[in-house]
Structure 1
């Protein structure tokens, strides 16, 4: 009788270990599949981030005469500009975010 009880106990412990291993294996497989299915969404900027002179003119809706008043100008002691810019080589480019911020901060200004 004692041997039968011991054998039954061993079978039950073995079945519990086996079922625990199966449950754990399924959980790990499912979590690794879910990790592979995760989608990382990054906000993609729409359009270019740097505008050329002509793109800036179009972006702001200004005429040739008007855009000339805000563009960077070479003066004796350096370049003066009302609008934020980046110079790459000999060309001036205007960051969209900086231009938008400049517009928000420049409520009423007179450009000559």
Structure 2
């Protein structure tokens, strides 16, 4: 569940799922509700979070760091399922929290690798 290969595949699937979220939000924004453009922004942020997760799975990191990445990826799937079945958009705040967590983890690992090579 938290192996490097599984998380890399899950991150790629999360990118695809977030792109589907963008397309669905765009469809809703263009046809029904103009406020759905905020959902599009949230999904764009989550695409970047998925990209960061995918990059992080390529590094040689500790098991506990892989678990943190895994829970973030699986949270993206839960957000998408809630969006599909309930129509719940958790908004940019949740997207920013998940993205910030993955982005700062990615930048700290990249700077550590740069300093130690």
Give the TM-score normalised by the residue count of structure 2: 0.23
Instruction: Choose between structure 1 and 2: higher helix proportion.
Output: 2
Relative to its length, the structure with more strand (as a share) is: 1
Relative contact order, higher structure (CA 8 A, sep 6+): 2
Give 1 or 2 for the bigger CA radius of gyration: 1
